[in-house]
Amino acid sequence: MKFYSEKLSPRRLSLQWRLTLLISGLVITACALMYFFISRSAVTGLEGISDYVVLVTPDNSNPISINVDPKILIPDLENQIQNTKNNFLFQSMIATGIIILLSSICTWFVTRRALTPLRRFSDRIRQVQAQNLSEPLEVPLSEDEISRLTRSFNDMLARLDNAFSAQKQFVASAAHELRTPLAVMQTNLEVFYKKSEHAPQEYDRLFTMLQEQTGRLSHLAEILLDMTGLQTVERSDTISLAALTEEVFCDLDPVADKHQIRLIQTEGDCTVTGSYILLYRAVYNLVENAIKYNRPSGSVTVNIHSAESAVLEVTDTGIGISPENQEKIFDPFYRVDKSRSRAMGGAGLGLALVSEIARQHNGQVKVTQSSEKGSTIALILPKSTDY
């Protein structure tokens, strides 16, 4: 019994059969109601035949009414009426059944024809693979629901194609970044292994190199884990950007002293709602980046103000960013100066992480000003009343 119940379950029926059954049910209900009311009315009319009243109007006189009992005139009247009722009910049932059967058959063919575009659309969807996401489906000219569904599906394909392309690029870049320190370690170990005797300085150089490269790998793995876990972090903290910046300055003060950079925070504050941990990381990366790529004895200034949104601007006194690189610097693993970035231990993910954190908070980060005297990068976030 379980097998038959599952086999006949409505969930296992096609859309065409479900529409056919639904419309057939409506037709059956309508025919049943019509059969009931029409038959009831006809039968009641037949049963109401009892007496006839005959009016006789002689010339120049008042009409005379004569009551005539039909049973006297037609002794077998009751049997004839009953037979007529039975025949009427039987014929009505036959006609109703034929109407229902024909309506169901017509409904099946009509729904089959109406669902043909949807069936074609389904067949085309089955042919979509990861390799042909860039090939949109042909949009029907009917301008109906199927046409709108096809356009929406093409939009989804475009988003998926962009996401897959970005993911492929990200994976390729990550593999390249991971391969570089591994290749350095492998090469140095092979050279070290080929020598039969080693001086103490060679051991020191080898261990220093291994420590640097493993630290670089650990730093890269940490950033990659941070980027993959952003969506799960709770973003309900009420945050003062001025207090957050003070904490960032306190933590980066030794780094600034090492590079002889002054950290300056102007007056101004704004409150936003989000994740304190993530926004701290975003501001930290912006300020750290401004310190590393600054001129000696330069400065990093953070200015916080609000208009329609909360704006945190980080201004440095570095060499500036060329216009063609001002948007690319927020892409993962992109470096303006690759040799300098590698020398400083950068993985090319700091600003990409800032961009993703801003996006997770319904904000954005962008270069607002850049010249030979320095650059300004703005972190723009919705204020607490807007978030």
Distance separating alpha carbons of residues 316 and 198, to the nearest angstrom: 46
Between the CA atoms of 219, 220, 225 and 231, what dihedral angle is there, to the nearest 10 degrees?
A: 110
Distance separating alpha carbons of residues 278 and 360, to the nearest angstrom: 9
Buried-exposed string 244-271: b where 16+ CB fall within 10 A, e elsewhere: bbeebbeebeeebeeeebebebeebebb
β pairing state of 374-381 and 310-316:
antiparallel
Q: How far is CA 289 from CA 139, 258, 286, in A?
A: 47, 14, 5
Domain borders along the chain are 13-114, 160-227, 233-381
Return the CATH fold of 160-227.
Helix Hairpins (1.10.287)
Strands (E), 275-361: 299-306, 310-316
66 - beta bridge partners? 54
Distance separating alpha carbons of residues 111 and 13, to the nearest angstrom: 14
Buried-exposed string 298-316: b where 16+ CB fall within 10 A, e elsewhere: bbbbbbbebeebbbbbbbb
Domains 160-227 and 233-381 share a fold: no
CA 311 to chain centre: 28
CA atoms within 13 A on the CB side of 337: 13
CB atoms inside a 10 Å sphere around CB 187: 11
pLDDT at 4: 42
Three-state secondary structure string covering 20-59: HHHHHHHHHHHHHHHHHHHHHHHHHHHHCCCCEEEEECCC
Distance separating alpha carbons of residues 240 and 296, to the nearest angstrom: 31
| DSSP per position, 134-194 | TSPPPPPTT-SHHHHHHHHHHHHHHHHHHHHHHHHHHHHHHHHHHHHHHHHHHHHHHHHHH
Instruction: Name the nearest CA neighbour of 367 among 334, 337, 331, 323.
Output: 323
301 - beta bridge partners? 264, 315
Q: How far is CA 263 from CA 210, 283, 294, 300, in A?
A: 33, 13, 12, 5
Copy the structure tokens of residue 292. 């590393």
CATH class of the region 233-381: alpha beta
Instruction: Name the nearest CA neighbour of 379 among 275, 287, 264, 247.
Output: 287
Copy the structure tokens of residue 1. 């019994």
Q: What is the pTM of this model?
A: 0.55
Q: End-to-end CA distance of the chain: give it in Å, rounded.
A: 56
Cα dihedral sign for 350, 354, 356, 360?
Answer: positive
pLDDT at 301: 95
pLDDT, tens digit only, all 387 positions of the chain: 444 444 445 556 666 677 777 787 777 777 777 767 776 666 665 555 555 555 555 665 666 555 555 555 556 666 776 777 777 777 777 877 787 788 778 877 877 777 777 777 777 778 777 667 777 777 777 777 777 888 888 888 888 877 777 677 667 767 766 777 788 888 888 888 888 888 888 888 888 888 888 887 887 777 677 666 666 678 888 999 999 999 999 999 999 998 899 999 999 999 999 988 889 989 999 999 999 889 888 999 999 998 889 999 999 998 888 888 888 888 877 766 554 444 454 556 788 889 888 988 999 999 999 988 899 999 999 987 544
CB atoms inside a 10 Å sphere around CB 100: 16
